[in-house]
Amino acid sequence: MASPAAPELAKHDLMILRKDLRIAARRSSERCLFHAAKWLAEQLNSLPQNVPSSHHYLKDQSSLPHDGLDTFVNDDEEDKYHLAKSYFNVNEFDRAARVVEGCVSSKAAFLCLYAKFMAGEKRKDEESEMVLGPLDGNVTANKELPILTKKLETMLADNKEDTFLLYLYGVVLLKQRNEKPAYQALVRSVISYPYNWATWDELKTITRSVEDVNRVMQDLPDHLMTRFFQLLASQELYHVNEAVYTLVEQLTEVFPRSSWLKSQRALLSYHVKDYEESEKIFDEIMQNDPYRLDFLDHYSNILYVMDKRSKLAFVAQVASATDKFRPETCCVIGNYFSMRSEHEKSIMYFRRALNLDRNFLSAWTLLGHEFVELKNTHAAIESYRRAIDVNRKDYRAWYGLGQAYEVLEMNYYALYYYQRAGALRPYDSQMWAAMAACYEKMNRPDDAIKSYKRALSGNAGSSAAAANQWDDFELNTKTLIKIAKLYERVKRSDEAVHYMEMCLKAEPDLGPSEDIATAKNWLAHYEKDRLNLGRALQLAQELFDAGLMVEDSRAMVRDIRNQLDMDHPRI
């Protein structure tokens, strides 16, 4: 992943970019890919203000690419297409599909299939009934999919590189969990037309690990849009490093006014637990674009973690004033209620978010958290599972699943899920500690020791710059003591002593604490047993002086003194 050179965009290049984005936005919107169109138009409008708008250059029809994406084979199809599109716009999907059935022009053909797909999705949502009900989830499938697959396969055989058809094919395959061919279709789609944001958006769901992203990057064209994708994919994988920051910088140079880029940056900060920075950026976004709801759910998560209740309430008010029935809004409100420990209410809001969009990831995860709070483990498991179905990169859901299974004492299950979470965030000590706890319960102390050691490497609390270090240790005394005790259990006292001593080393930084007392106590006993009475006495005395474990240490001091006296009777 060599960091790409900053795109030196001359004015002319900017002009071309502007034209391309404009065409792309129009194409997406003509195909009713509304979200992609919105994104593209947003980026289009966040280009620097001083881009010369060469009138003729932008308006000239002849400058349209000759790839057949914009033309109709005849007027008849064009009229039909307009009718279908207007039906689509009012959510009459089946009707729309029927109107353009059999059309061969790119736009009409795509609209036909897409409308069918949407009709199937709509029916699927309706048939799923209640969120988390018996019919929710994979049980209810989009019944149009097999037909669409077949049609798309025939159409793609004739018209090999229609980017939008390839996109739809990829989406359909993804819905059927057929990832390899889906990946190929999507990659083909972006290669043939990189400005197809819908495809990029879909492609990111396939990349499940940083390796995946790196591999994908090799297949992709070197293009401005590829960088957007790289940024998005890395962000979603919590893969924050200098290269990603450089990427944001470069893109921000081209699109200085892009709120989307800003929110990506805020999320990056969030992932490395730099909440203040993240909050700052979100505040900025809210000021510049007061009615923007995108990513607001993440903002509410940040505020939740920062325990800023009043600000969360404020954001919730803003959001619900803008649109009560957006999943983002519902999530913000749900978070607010969760913070007030009104878990039933918050569950209600998360459910509402899911009713609005069953693929809304953060709502699933948050719903799982709420169920955990209510000790409804099974519901929590189901919610987390759905979260993972939507996005396998959400370590919180994996971790939540692990926790839930741990509660149910299904340690193998728990371990597996913790491992998945750990694979996403190997430097997060929480994951490793959880894994180690599982190993302990499974009576595998060796494995537990290994996991604890890795937990020591975690430094999740430190600053962004060091976020991904694996060899930087935080001397977590609790973990050290656990390791030592486990070593004791497997009868390897040398190692046990080693870790207890390490624990003592932390004393100057942390001051006296219970863990250190435990370590001292343990060492005192150990030294005493080895008849190293001087050290033992010293440790016990230290303990006694610090006022920790008074009873025990006093007894030990007396005991050791007696022994010393016995060995070297005072004259």
Partner 1 sequence: MTLVGRLFSYHALTIVSSARRRRGSGRGQPIASARKKSLSKKKVDTPATEEDLENLSGSETETNTIKTRRRRRATLNTSDTREEDQPSPHGDPVKKRSPIPLPPPHPRYSLRSRGGTQLTPLVLKAPKPKLKEPEPESEDEEIQGLKEEEIEHLEDQEIEDLEDEEIEDLTTIPSDCTETFGESFGIEVPIASQSEPEFQPNEPEKQESALAIEGAIMEKFLREWRQDAVNKHQYDSAIFIGDKLLALTNDPNDAFFLAQIHFSTGQYTRAQAFLDGTGLIQKSAPCKYLYALSQIKQNKYEEALQTLGDESPIISNPHNLRKRGTSRANEEKYEAAMCYLRGVIYTKQGAYDKAKEAYKTAVKIDIRCFEAFDTLMRNNLLSPEEEWEFISEIDFDSMAASVGGAQGEATTQFLKALYTTRLSKYRNSSKFDDAIALLSTQYPLAGNHDIVLAKAELLYTQCRFEESLKLVKELLAKDKYNFKLYPVYIACLFELGKKNELFLMSHDLADNHREEPVTYVAIGAYYMLIDRLADARRFFSKASVMDPSFGPAWIGFAHTFAAEGEHDQAISAYSAAAKLFQGTHLPQMFLGMQHLQLNNITLADEYLQIAWGLCKTDPLLMNELGVVFYHNEHLHEAVKMFLNGIKLADEIGGDPKTYVQFRTNLGHAYRRLGRYGEAIEEFTHAIRIGGNEANIRCSMGLCCLMEGKTRDAIGHLHEALSLVPQDPVATELLEQALLKSADEPFEPTYYLPDGSAIVPTDKDFDKLLGEDKFQSPLPSDPSSSVQVASGRNAGTAKRNRVGGGARGTRRGEPDPSVMDVSDSEF
Binding site for partner 1 (CB under 8 A): 1, 3, 137-139, 141, 145-147, 149-150, 173, 176-178, 181, 209-211, 239, 241-243, 385, 389, 412-413, 415-416, 419, 422-423, 426-427, 435, 442, 446, 449-450, 453-454, 456-457, 465-471, 473, 490, 492, 494-495, 498-499, 502
- If the CB atoms of residues 15 and 467 are measured against partner 1, the closer one turns out to be 467
Q: How far is the CB of 281 from partner 1 (least distance, A)?
A: 21
Q: How far is the CB of 479 from partner 1 (least distance, A)?
A: 11
Sign of CA dihedral 405, 409, 411, 413: negative
- If the CB atoms of residues 296 and 435 are measured against partner 1, the closer one turns out to be 435
For residue 140, what are the CA distances in angstroms to 28, 168, 312, 359, 360? Answer: 29, 20, 36, 14, 17
- If the CB atoms of residues 210 and 318 are measured against partner 1, the closer one turns out to be 210
Burial of 567 (0-12, 13-18, 19+ CB in 10 A): exposed
Within 8 A by CB and 6+ apart from 489, the residues are 445
For residue 167, what are the CA distances in angstroms to 38, 60, 67, 105, 161? Answer: 17, 28, 16, 16, 10
Q: How far is the CB of 214 from partner 1 (least distance, A)?
A: 8
Q: How far is the CB of 210 from partner 1 (least distance, A)?
A: 6
Taking alpha carbons only, the member of 144, 64, 74 closest to residue 108 is: 74
> Interior CA angle at 276 toward 272 and 282, to 5°?
95
DSSP per-residue string spanning 460-508: TTS-GGGTT-SS-----HHHHHHHHHHHHHTT-HHHHHHHHHHHHHTHH
Q: How far is the CB of 500 from partner 1 (least distance, A)?
A: 13
- If the CB atoms of residues 198 and 421 are measured against partner 1, the closer one turns out to be 421
User: What CA–CA distance (Å, rounded) separates 326 from 415?
Assistant: 36
Q: How far is the CB of 136 from partner 1 (least distance, A)?
A: 10
DSSP per-residue string spanning 26-50: HHHHHTT-HHHHHHHHHHHTTS-TT
370: its two tokens: 């709420």
- If the CB atoms of residues 118 and 480 are measured against partner 1, the closer one turns out to be 480
- If the CB atoms of residues 57 and 473 are measured against partner 1, the closer one turns out to be 473
For residue 554, what are the CA distances in angstroms to 208, 499, 520, 551? Answer: 57, 25, 13, 5
Taking alpha carbons only, the member of 198, 190, 174, 262 closest to residue 224 is: 190
**Contacts of 484-489 spanning 24+ positions with Cβ under 8 A:** 484/519, 484/522, 486/440, 486/445, 486/448, 486/449, 486/452, 487/449, 489/445
User: What CA–CA distance (Å, rounded) separates 466 from 453?
Assistant: 19
Sign of CA dihedral 387, 390, 394, 399: positive
- If the CB atoms of residues 211 and 219 are measured against partner 1, the closer one turns out to be 211
Q: How far is the CB of 19 from partner 1 (least distance, A)?
A: 33
- If the CB atoms of residues 523 and 548 are measured against partner 1, the closer one turns out to be 523
Q: How far is the CB of 419 from partner 1 (least distance, A)?
A: 5
- If the CB atoms of residues 69 and 500 are measured against partner 1, the closer one turns out to be 500
Q: How far is the CB of 550 from partner 1 (least distance, A)?
A: 32
- If the CB atoms of residues 34 and 470 are measured against partner 1, the closer one turns out to be 470
- If the CB atoms of residues 95 and 498 are measured against partner 1, the closer one turns out to be 498
470: its two tokens: 């694996």
Q: How far is the CB of 489 from partner 1 (least distance, A)?
A: 12
For residue 215, what are the CA distances in angstroms to 7, 24, 183, 268? Answer: 22, 26, 12, 22
Q: How far is the CB of 184 from partner 1 (least distance, A)?
A: 13
| Cβ atoms 167, 114 nearer than 8 A | no
Neighbour-count burial for 426-437, b at 16+ CB within 10 Å, e otherwise: ebbbbbbbbbbb
> Interior CA angle at 214 toward 208 and 215, to 5°?
85
* DSSP collapsed to 3 states, 391-409: CCCCHHHHHHHHHHHHHCC
- If the CB atoms of residues 490 and 531 are measured against partner 1, the closer one turns out to be 490
Q: How far is the CB of 168 from partner 1 (least distance, A)?
A: 15
- If the CB atoms of residues 351 and 420 are measured against partner 1, the closer one turns out to be 420
Q: How far is the CB of 401 from partner 1 (least distance, A)?
A: 10
- If the CB atoms of residues 244 and 302 are measured against partner 1, the closer one turns out to be 244
Backbone angles phi, psi at 354, to 5 degrees: -75, -30
Q: How far is the CB of 144 from partner 1 (least distance, A)?
A: 10
Size of the chain, expressed as the number of residues it contains: 571
| Cβ atoms 102, 114 nearer than 8 A | no
Taking alpha carbons only, the member of 116, 109, 110, 76 closest to residue 95 is: 116
